[in-house]
Amino acid sequence: MSSSQSSSCTTHFESPTRKRTALDTFLHEVGLSPVKKVLSVEWDSASERTKSDYQRKTHEIMEQIFKIMAPGQEASLAESLFTKDTTRENGILHSISRAYISASSWGVQRQILSLVVNDFSFHDLQKSIPDLTRYKFTAAKRHAEKEGVRVPVSVSLTHREKASKGQLDHFLQFILSPAVMTDSPFGECNYKLSSGTELTTPKIILNTVRTRTVNLYVKFCEETSFTPILSERSYLRILEAIQPSVRKSMKGLDNYTAEGGKAFDDLKQAASILGQIGKDKKWVEDVHKLLNDGKQYLKIQYKLHISRSSEVADHCCSFALSDTTCNSEYSRTCDHNHHQSCLECENVSKAIALINEAAMEVCFEDEDQKDEIQYILQQSTKAVYEWKQHILRTMNQDRARQSVMDSLQPDEALLERDWAMKFLPMEYRYTQQCISFIKD
């Protein structure tokens, strides 16, 4: 019975209410006001006034305790209790400072700082290490968290290998194909070798910017499982050494490409007009995106998808170039089915179909506007598909030329006479209006 009563009294004495009652009794004996409230919120979230009240009250209570524990020496007791022993800390900081200054590299300095960044503040360390910056302090703290205290950073060794002849030949064969570069009918380039010999070659034109060409080649290697691949910077250096020209307009060099690119722009203009007189903004944006993607696809990627034999009808040279109306000399039967489709090729046809459907649905302002839109659609559609057909023929002819060159004997040569290129019309600097003005 007595044990149970003792346990009950102890529990009651340890309750917060009992403790506050005892504290208030003590404060009454020493002449201080009782505690009116206790802190019920987090200290960091409390207001400055609340913090000041609790600090003042605690200071008064501790001052009375010091007077009771050490009469007449309360200041010495408080100083020995709350003042840190900085002798040992100063010795640690001095040793760290000497090791930091004598370190041979920033990596070693970072490892040394990681020993103490979690125990000392930035300002404490800066007093011992004057050239310590906030960046170095933060980097050492991050190093201690991720790598560990005093753990060196793991460095992966990278070995630079010389590009092999096979890698260079593969890249040069890719960029010198008609899909990537176009021969110019005029102009020459001079290349100086390391031996001092100068070579004069016909000028070549890159169909797209150098970065996109390299990205296209890397994707081509991934699709064909060609390894190993050099870094992108290595391929850019090769292109810088070749110094190909980059031209936006192909007028006079490849009229099919020039007219095809212009046709896409005319189709975008027609779609914008249809959006103003009947279609909404969302429809115009979707059609413009399909046309932009289709133009880039025919300009670059479509050439790489073409092959002699493919299950995609638009990519199969044997099927697409066969003339079924003539005899068998100009046609070939494929040994496979064309049951697959190309999303990019279908998007080109889809964009043209959407514009044609919209042209039949909207109400035009007058007959002239209707005739103009129909004429643009008719001519642009024809130019787009002629550009696509031209790409097929060009790639097929290039493969035939390459096949002939591979089978040449040491005493044989291949002479090309591209008369068609010589007779292509050129677009000069002056327009027809300017020429008429000069003549007048």
Q: What angle do CA 238, 244, 248 make, to 5 degrees?
A: 130
Considering the domain architecture, whether residues 268 and 397 belong to the same structural domain is answered as: yes
Look at 293 and 120; give whichever has higher pLDDT.
293
In percent, the amount of the chain with pLDDT more than 90 equals 12
Considering the domain architecture, whether residues 178 and 303 belong to the same structural domain is answered as: no
Give the domain-ending residue among 246, 265, 294.
Answer: 246
Rounded CA separation 292/298 (Å): 10
pLDDT, tens digit, 9 for 90 and up, residues 38-57? 888 888 788 888 888 888 88
Considering the domain architecture, whether residues 78 and 96 belong to the same structural domain is answered as: no
Considering the domain architecture, whether residues 346 and 374 belong to the same structural domain is answered as: yes
CB-facing half-sphere around the CA of 59: CA atoms within 13 A: 7
With respect to residue 151, please indicate whether it lies within any of the assigned structural domains.
no
With respect to residue 438, please indicate whether it lies within any of the assigned structural domains.
no
With respect to residue 434, please indicate whether it lies within any of the assigned structural domains.
no
Structural domain of 54: 15-82
Considering the domain architecture, whether residues 240 and 259 belong to the same structural domain is answered as: no
pLDDT, tens digit, 9 for 90 and up, residues 223-253? 888 888 888 888 888 888 877 776 555 555 5
Considering the domain architecture, whether residues 68 and 101 belong to the same structural domain is answered as: no
Q: Which H helix or E strand runs over 33?
A: none
With respect to residue 398, please indicate whether it lies within any of the assigned structural domains.
yes
**Angle between helix 281-296 and helix 255-277 axes, rounded to 10 deg:** 170
pLDDT, tens digit, 9 for 90 and up, residues 140-190? 888 888 887 777 766 666 666 678 888 888 888 888 877 777 776 667 777
Considering the domain architecture, whether residues 294 and 376 belong to the same structural domain is answered as: yes
Considering the domain architecture, whether residues 392 and 321 belong to the same structural domain is answered as: yes
Considering the domain architecture, whether residues 55 and 125 belong to the same structural domain is answered as: no
With respect to residue 193, please indicate whether it lies within any of the assigned structural domains.
yes
With respect to residue 363, please indicate whether it lies within any of the assigned structural domains.
yes
With respect to residue 8, please indicate whether it lies within any of the assigned structural domains.
no
Span of 170-184, 279-293, 380-394, 417-431 with lowest mean pLDDT:
417-431
Say whether the peptide bond before residue 34 is cis (omega within 30 degrees of 0): no
With respect to residue 156, please indicate whether it lies within any of the assigned structural domains.
no
Give the count of domains, the chain: 4
Considering the domain architecture, whether residues 295 and 401 belong to the same structural domain is answered as: yes
Distance of CA 294 to the CA centre of its chain: 23
Give the domain-ending residue among 99, 115, 146.
Answer: 146
In percent, the amount of the chain with pLDDT more than 70 equals 83
Considering the domain architecture, whether residues 60 and 101 belong to the same structural domain is answered as: no
207 closest CA partner among 171, 253, 168: 253
Residue owning tokens 């590299």: 105
Token pair in block for residue 6: 């003792």
Q: Average pLDDT of 286-303?
A: 88
Considering the domain architecture, whether residues 77 and 98 belong to the same structural domain is answered as: no
Give the domain-ending residue among 183, 216, 246.
Answer: 246
